[in-house]
């Protein structure tokens, strides 16, 4: 079974006349040749997901109204932002339409005074089975008291968390909040919490590898890597040398990339080595990422 652990909820149920407006920061965050998330329809999303058996789908909740980092604050315009209820209702509606294909993740904000109630509601009433957080986009300290309260409840409820990790072109999204070194202390404090670090935390892949290597329930996905050939190769060569290829999960970050192009890039990862003596990434081992029991690993089977 092929599972795409990292896709974003489309905002349009059907095509409309004219394109939906895209925030400047959202456009900057995208590959120039990819559609803006605001303009992807349900039909386009589902057609693209035909390549995989199951997909995890989510967006990112904005800080609560009145918070210093709310939608009018410094990270406004980040890809997939929206009020918590709106974001989670959009995801749940899509999952209800395609329940055999999709697994929905909620997004909440640690500084929301009702965050624990929101988690209960999204899990119980909407059937959302995991959490997506972007500490840099949501402007929260991933090791702060508010965040730890969220992690405590997530661990109790058995909700895996997928964190945005690594770089962002959004000017006011704090890069330090998305550095994988913080996950080391988080995973030590919450050893049963199942965690996925998106994008192998590029460009801090070595730090990400150090974290996933030592914590049994911390994994990384390979989304949004393959279209930077040198970074792609060096990331997975490091993963090979540190024996953590088995800790990687398949993900695309659609619409930034599709699951098909992500998978089809795998056999070509060593193409840039022609004429060099650099060691290759073992293709057979890399292909096992496609076969990984992602749902079992995250407690979603």
pTM of the model: 0.92
Mean pLDDT of 166-171: 89
Mean local confidence (pLDDT), 66-70: 66
Kindly tell me if the per-residue pLDDT of 117 is higher than 80: yes
Paired residues of 163 in beta bridges: 133, 197
> How many other C-beta atoms can be found within 10 angstroms of the C-beta atom of residue 54?
18
Domains of the chain as residue ranges with CATH: 3-297 (3.20.20.140)
Q: How far apart are CA 180 and CA 177, in angstroms?
A: 9
How much is the pLDDT for 291? 93
In 10 A of CB 216, how many CB atoms? 11
> Which residue has better confidence, 69 or 112?
112
pLDDT reading at 68 higher than 90 = no
d(CA 211, CA 283): 23
CB 53 within 8 A of CB 3: yes
Q: What's the chain's Rg over C-alpha atoms?
A: 18
- What's the whole-number mean pLDDT along residues 273-286? 97
Confidence band of 31 (pLDDT split at 50, 70, 90):
low
The pLDDT, as a whole number, for residue 19 is: 47
Other beta carbons less than 10 A from residue 23's beta carbon: 16
3-state DSSP call for residue 23?
Answer: coil
Which band of pLDDT confidence, cut at 50, 70 and 90, is reported for residue 71? very low
Q: To 5 degrees, how large is the angle CA 242–CA 244–CA 245?
A: 120
> Cα(182)–Cα(160) distance, rounded to whole angstroms?
17
Give me the phi and psi of 149, to 5 degrees please.
-65, -40
Report yes or no: 232 and 240 within 8 Å, Cβ to Cβ: no
Check pLDDT > 90 for residue 98: yes
Q: How confident is the model at residue 171 (pLDDT cuts 50, 70, 90)?
A: confident
Mean pLDDT, the chain, whole residue set: 91
Asked if 195 and 5 touch (Cβ cutoff 8 Å), the reply is no
The model's pLDDT over 241-277, given as tens digits with 9 standing for 90+, comes to: 999 999 999 999 999 999 999 999 999 999 999 999 9
What phi-psi label fits residue 18: left (phi over 0), alpha (psi between -120 and 50 degrees) or beta? left
Residue 77 has pLDDT above 50, yes or no: no
Rounded-to-integer distance, Cα 157 and Cα 193, Å: 10
The fraction of the chain above a pLDDT of 70, given in percent, is 88
Q: What are the residue ranges of helices labelled H in the chain?
A: 24-29, 42-48, 84-97, 115-124, 135-138, 145-157, 181-189, 205-214, 229-241, 259-264, 283-287, 294-297
- Residue 184 pLDDT grade (very low, low, confident, very high; cuts 50, 70, 90): very high
């Amino acid at each position: 079974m092929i599972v795409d652990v990292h896709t974003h909820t489309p905002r349009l149920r059907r095509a409309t006349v004219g394109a939906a407006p895209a925030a400047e920061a959202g456009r900057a965050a995208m590959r120039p040749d990819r559609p803006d998330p605001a303009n992807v329809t349900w039909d386009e999303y589902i057609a693209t997901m035909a390549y995989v058996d199951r997909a995890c789908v989510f967006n990112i909740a904005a800080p609560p109204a009145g918070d210093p980092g709310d939608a009018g604050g410094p990270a406004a315009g980040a890809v997939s932002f929206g009020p918590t209820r709106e974001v989670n209702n959009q995801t749940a509606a899509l999952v209800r339409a395609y329940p055999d294909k999709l697994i929905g993740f909620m997004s909440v904000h640690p500084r929301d005074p009702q965050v624990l109630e929101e988690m209960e509601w999204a899990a119980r009433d909407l059937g959302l089975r995991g959490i997506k957080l972007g500490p840099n986009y949501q402007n929260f300290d991933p090791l702060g008291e508010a965040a730890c309260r969220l992690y405590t409840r997530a661990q109790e409820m058995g909700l895996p968390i997928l964190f945005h990790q690594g770089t962002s072109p959004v000017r006011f999204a704090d890069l330090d909040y998305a550095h994988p070194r913080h996950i080391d202390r988080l995973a030590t404090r919450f050893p049963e919490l199942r965690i996925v670090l998106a994008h192998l935390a590029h460009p801090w892949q070595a730090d990400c590898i150090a974290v996933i290597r030592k914590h049994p329930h911390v994994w990384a996905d390979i989304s949004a890597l393959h279209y930077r050939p040198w970074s792609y190769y060096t990331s997975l060569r490091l993963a090979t040398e540190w024996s953590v290829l088995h800790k990687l999960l398949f993900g695309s970050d659609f619409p930034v990339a599709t699951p098909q192009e992500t998978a089809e890039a795998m056999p070509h990862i060593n193409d840039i080595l022609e004429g060099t003596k650099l060691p290759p990434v073992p293709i057979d081992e890399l292909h096992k990422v496609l076969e990984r029991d992602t749902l079992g690993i995250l407690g979603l089977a």
